[in-house]
Amino acid sequence: MAQMDGQTVYLPNPLRDMKWPWARRMNPFYEEVKEEADYWFMSLKCFDETDNKNFIRCDFARLAALCYPDLKREQYRLACDMFTLFFLFDEYTDVANGKKAQELADLALKPLRNLNAECPENAHALEKVAIGFWRRFMAVASETCQELFIKSWREYAEGVVQEAKDRLERTVPRSFYTGDLMRLRKLTAGVAPCIAMCFIGKECPRGFFGDPALIRLVDVTVEIVSFENDTYSFQKEDATGDIHNLLQAIMHDQACSLQNALYYAEKETKCRAAEFMAIAKTLHSQDPDVQTYIKDLGTLIIGHTLWSFETQRYFGTVHKKVEKERKLVLSAEKKRVVCWE
C-alpha cells in the first residue's frame, strides 16, 4: 500500500444511511463478565504481557455484548469465550500453511471427542481455550444450538484451511465478480457460528430453518457482515500482505483505487441491507420465534459494525475520531499486530 501511504480515505456508513432499524444495545452483564472472561484467558498464559494487553484492547466481550444483548449471564459468557476462540484460531492460522492450519482446525475440535479429558500441561494455547469453551458450551447450549454451531464451525474451519493454502498458492485475490472470493469469505468470516449462538437457549423444530425467506435472510446477514468487516479491517490486514479481503478483490477486478473500492462495497452493502429489511417486512406477521430471529440477526449485524469503532482493534487510539469523521489516514507500514497501534 506504499502508493497510498499518508493518503486519507473516506469510510462510508451504509447502515446509517439505510436507517438500519436495529439500534445499539449492550448486554447488561458486560462489565462483570468481561472481567471474568479476560481473567480466564490471561490465566491460560497464551500470550506474552504485550499481546495480553493488546488482547484486552480488542475487547471481545464488548463484541459479544453488542451482538447478544439479550443473552442470560451464563450464555453471554459463552459468547465471550466463542469470540476468544475465534480470535486465537485466526491468530495462529493467519501465519500457517494449509497443513498446519488443518492441524490447528483439528486441535480446536479435539475436546469434543472427550469433554472430560484432562488438559495436558504442555497443551497448545488453542487447545487450552478450546477445552474451556467446549466444556461450557456443551453443558449450556440447547441441542438446536449445538447442532447448528458445530456444523457451522467445521465449515468455518474448512474455509480457513483453504485460505491458508491460498496464501502459498495465490499472489492475487480470488475474483469478486465471479463470486469466488465471496463463497470462501462467507465461510471464513465466521458469521454462521455467530448466528447459531443466537439459539443457545432455544429449541427450534427442523422445519423452522427451511423457509426460503429465512435462508436468504441468513445469507444476506453473512454478506453484510463480510463487507463491513473487510472495510474496517482493511488496513490491519493489508499491513500483513493479506489478499483475502473483498476490497482487495474489488480493487484487483476493477483496477481501481481503494476509495473507489470502498464506494463499491458501500453500494453492495446497501443493496443487501435493503433486501434484509424488505424480507423482514414480509415476515412481519409471522410467529414470535421468527420475529425474534429477525431481531437477533439485525442486532448481530449492527453489533459487529459498532464494535469495529468502539475498540482499538482496527483503528488504534484514534478509533473514536475515525468513527466520528469517517476519515482514515493510510499507512504503508508492514506489521502483524493483535490490535492496531
The CA–CA distances, whole Å, from 327 to 10, 143, 217, 266, 302 equal: 5, 45, 31, 15, 20
Task: Indicate if the pLDDT at residue 130 is higher than 50.
Answer: yes
For 18-27, write each residue's pLDDT tens digit: 999 999 999 9
The answer on pLDDT for 4 being more than 80 is: no
Domain assignments of the chain as residue spans, ordered by start: 2-329
136 phi and psi, to 5 degrees?
Answer: -70, -40
Q: Is the pLDDT of residue 3 over 70?
A: no
Give the torsion sign (CA, 247, 252, 254, 260): positive
Cβ-based neighbours of 125, under 8 Å, separated by 6 or more: 44, 45, 46, 47, 88, 92
Q: Residue 330: what are its φ and ψ, rounded to 5°? A: -80, 150
Q: Which position has the higher pLDDT, 12 or 335?
A: 12
What is the rounded distance in angstroms from the CA atom of residue 245 to the CA atom of residue 182?
9
**Domain 2-329 fold:** Farnesyl Diphosphate Synthase (1.10.600)
Tens of pLDDT, residue by residue over 287-331, are 899 999 999 999 999 999 999 999 999 999 999 999 999 999 999
Residue 9: beta bridge partners?
328
Mean pLDDT across the stretch 170-180?
A: 94
How far, in Å, CA of 273 to CA of 267, rounded? 10
Residues 129-155, mean pLDDT to the nearest whole number: 97
Model confidence pLDDT, tens digit, residues 237-288: 999 999 999 999 999 999 999 999 999 999 999 999 999 999 999 997 778 9
* Reported confidence tier of residue 236, pLDDT bands at 50, 70, 90: very high
Q: What is the mean predicted confidence (pLDDT) over 224-233?
A: 98
In 3D space, the residue among 186, 192, 191 whose CA is nearest the CA of residue 163 turns out to be 186
pLDDT in tens, 181-208: 999 999 999 999 999 999 999 998 878 8
pLDDT at 5: 76
